[in-house]
Amino acid sequence: MFNIIKSVRKRYRWALLAIALLISGSALLLQLSISVQKYDAKIINIAGKQRMLSQKIAWHSNTILNTNNYSALHTQSLKKTLNVFKSAHQQLLAQSPNGEYKYLTPELIKLYLYEPIQLDKSVTQYILEAEKLLYQKGEVKQSVFSIEEVEALLLNLDKAVSLYEQSALSKVNWVSNLEILCWLLAMILLLIELRFVFMPMEKEVTSTLLELQKQKDFVQQISQNKEHFIARASHEFRTPLQGLITSIEALEITPEQESIKTQAKYCSLRLISMLDELQDLQALSAGKWVPHLKDENLLESCNKVVIAYKYACKQKGIKLTSHLDESLNCICKLDHQRLQHMFTELMSNAIKFTAQGEINVSAKLLNNEFCLTVKDTGCGFSQAIADLEFDSFKQSNHFQGLRTGLTRVQYVVKALHGAISFKNNETHGATVTLSLPIISHKEALVEHTVNSNLTCLVVEDNPLNTLLLTRILTLLNLSYECAVNGEIACDMVSKNEYDIIFMDLNMPVMDGFEAIKIIRSELNKTMPIIAVTANTSDDDMEQVYKNGANFHIHKPISQQAIEDALNSIREINFTCSEGTC
């Protein structure tokens, strides 16, 4: 196929060159035609004005001859008109240096110079008699200005104009014929191209494209199946996880059972982490990953990860020591969830490849840069690592494994304009250092209390999710009503007043997308709407906000997530009331 393309390219270039030359020639001819038309139009206009000027001269001359007390304006106008008439006549009969007439065709030469008409002689005599009258140079032959003589002159001037127009038209026709010829040649060249360039390779190119299309469709189908599976699996896993996490948080246990509760928390957090990793990898492959920056306490974000891995270290008999500097105790604008994911991945790999010994975690905030170090006494690296490889087939099996988890870490670190390094310790084990630029705020977050006078509408088709969400609302002293699909919710909203709506997106009969759209556009309700969903697709989130949602919460939800959502809604409303939204 490449040989055919090479051969066709050569012939095609020559054909394009020929067509380009023809097009250029046609364009030049077009410009010539326009120029000729402008040139001829000017001459025709001059010839046409001669008729009007001759009539004006006759009128002024007869007035002067036949009126005793004529106005001086007649004399002035006659002088001006006569000068223009004479100048125009001289221009029409202008000659080139070699004695040829510039504007006269053979027919016009015959009209102007030869009998029986001799228009040049008539015009010259007409001018001469007008000058005699104007300058009082002798006896004026008044018959020259009679109606019969003037009519004869006008008739001959009309013939001159007609001959000028015929001459111009013949030039335009000549240029037009050349343009048609160029167009025909271009069409012939295109037909030759079609016959000898495109048709010979049409079958081979078509068969190759069909084969490539089949392969592309197959790959796209696999990719779509993978994305659909990941999305559905994530959605279905998050629903029971919601119940699991809420149940763990609600357990009232004895101090002796604390380790069991810690183990349960660890397992649930690991499940959520794996789901988030699948979602992140899907977003990375589709090029849709973006950081979600929030203002939260950096020390609390780090502590959550360390506490979650204390149980894992205890189970494996590894000592876990951590030093989280007090400088972390500040509010930072950061993607805290992704930071916890990266921290979790580094901790997980350190525990996985450390059979005995200890793991040391230290973190601090220095000059608006977050520095995290995870040091272990495991097997270390078999060779120096400058960068992580994305291809799992090329990845080695040293201590970190370098599989999808660390691939995701590296991508996120680069997206957040940070850096990560790997090195072996002097004795044994490895040290991983992570640094991220951070915008910190020394002031603490303002504690908000949820308004207990709110009436909520919970729209959820899954009884378990409804139970969990209403339990949290009860703990927050909020009253609520429930609907199992969007259609029922719209009916309830039309009849009752609610302060806030918690809306699931995937429901039978009418989903949350359509329900939000109807509430905003048809019912014209303005109460805040919080989407509560297991969907993590950016496209879905963009659509739900476009339809009119104010906030969203991803399942599995927690009491803290609900409080944060309610506080965010209140901040938005407050900002709008101040006129700055």
> pLDDT by residue (tens digit) across 127-173?
998 888 888 877 888 888 888 888 998 999 999 999 988 888 887 78
Judge whether 375 and 354 are in contact, CB under 8 Å: no
Instruction: Assess if residue 206 is contained within a domain.
Output: no
Q: Which amino acid is at 68?
A: N
Find, among 267, 272, 263, the residue nearest to 237 by Cα.
Answer: 272
Which residue in 403, 462, 456, 511 sits closest to 238, CA to CA? 462
Same domain, 284 and 360: yes
Higher pLDDT pick, 276 / 8: 276
Give the span between the Cα atoms of 275 and 268, in whole angstroms.
11
Residue 429 covered by a domain: yes
Same structural domain, 412 and 470: no
- Is residue 330 a contact partner of residue 442, using CB atoms and an 8 Å limit? yes
The mean per-residue pLDDT over the stretch 278-292 comes to 69
Query: 76 and 52 in one domain?
Result: yes
| Residue from 282, 271, 264, 262 nearest 238 by CA | 271
* Whether 419 and 467 share a structural domain: no
- Largest Cα separation within the chain, whole Å, is 144
Question: Which tens digit of pLDDT belongs to each residue from 327-374?
Answer: 888 888 888 888 888 888 888 888 888 888 899 999 998 888 899 999
Do 464 and 567 sit in the same domain of this protein? yes
Query: Which residues lie below 8 Å from residue 261, measured CB to CB, with a gap of 6+?
Result: 248, 251, 253
Mean pLDDT score, 413-439: 84
Q: What is the mean pLDDT of the chain?
A: 81
Tokens 């259609």 -> residue:
487
For position 402, what pLDDT does the model report? 36
The per-residue pLDDT for 460 is: 92
| 219 within domain boundaries | no
| pLDDT given at position 581 | 42
Long-range CB pairs of 511-517, under 8 A, 24+ apart, other chains included: 511/486, 512/459, 512/486, 512/544, 513/543, 513/544, 513/547, 514/486, 515/459, 515/485, 515/486, 515/487, 515/489, 515/490, 516/544, 516/547, 516/548, 516/549, 517/547, 517/548
Backbone phi and psi for residue 65, each to the nearest 5 degrees, phi listed first: -70, -35
> Per residue in 366-406, pLDDT tens?
888 899 999 988 887 766 665 555 444 454 444 333 355 67
Nearest to 242 by CA among 213, 272, 212, 198: 272
Provide the 10 A C-beta neighbour count for residue 446.
Answer: 7
Q: Residues 428, 515: one domain?
A: no
Domain boundary among 411, 441, 471: 441
Q: For residues 361 and 347, what is the distance between their CA atoms, to the nearest angstrom?
A: 9
The enclosing domain of 465 has a CATH number of 3.40.50.2300
Helix boundaries (H) for 353-462? 404-415
Domain containing 171 equals 2-201
Are 325 and 389 part of one and the same domain? yes
Helices (H), 251-335: 258-286, 298-316
Same domain, 470 and 437: no
Residues facing residue 456 across a β-bridge: 480, 500
Task: List the structure tokens of 340.
Answer: 């916890």
Whole-model pTM above 0.85? no
For residue 59, is it left (φ>0), alpha (ψ between -120 and 50) or beta?
alpha
E strands in 339-429: 358-366, 369-376, 419-424
If one counts the domains in the chain, the total is 3
* Domain assignment present for 108: yes
Contact between residue 395 and residue 401 where contact means Cβ atoms under 8 Å apart:
yes
User: What integer is the mean pLDDT of 222-246?
Assistant: 73
**What CATH number is given to the structural domain containing 434?**
3.30.565.10
What confidence tens digit (pLDDT) does each residue in 90-131 have? 999 998 889 888 888 899 999 989 888 889 999 999 899 888
Q: Is the pLDDT of residue 446 over 60?
A: no
Query: Do 523 and 472 share a domain, yes or no?
Result: yes
Among 60-64, 85-89, 135-139, 555-559, the least confident range: 555-559
| Residue 517 domain flag | yes
Band the pLDDT of 180: cuts 50, 70, 90.
Answer: confident
How far does the chain reach from its first CA to its final CA, in angstroms?
A: 60
| Residues 434, 547 within the same domain | no
Query: Is residue 25 in a domain?
Result: yes
* pLDDT on residue 356: 86
Taking residues 468-482, report their average pLDDT: 90
85 with 158, same domain? yes
Burial state string for 338-352 with b = 16 or more CB within 10 A and e = fewer than 16:
bbbbbbbbbbbbbbe
Predicted local confidence at residue 387, as pLDDT: 57
Distance CA 547, CA 520 (A): 8
Whether 92 and 69 map to the same domain: the answer is: yes
Going by C-beta distance under 8 Å and a sequence separation of 6 or more, which residues neighbour residue 429?
A: 354, 357, 375, 376, 377, 378, 379, 380
Counting residues of the chain whose pLDDT is more than 90, the rounded percentage is: 18
Last residue of a domain, one of 171, 201, 231: 201
pLDDT, position 504: 92
Is 112 among the domain residues? yes
In a domain, 322, yes or no: yes
Show which of 406, 441, 476 is a domain's final residue.
441
Burial of 224 per CB tally in 10 Å (0-12, 13-18, 19+): exposed
What is the pLDDT at residue 573? 56
Contacts of 159 (CB under 8 A, 6+ apart): 111, 117, 119
Cβ contact 480:470 at 8 Å? yes
pLDDT > 80? residue 444: no
Distance CA 151, CA 145 (A): 10
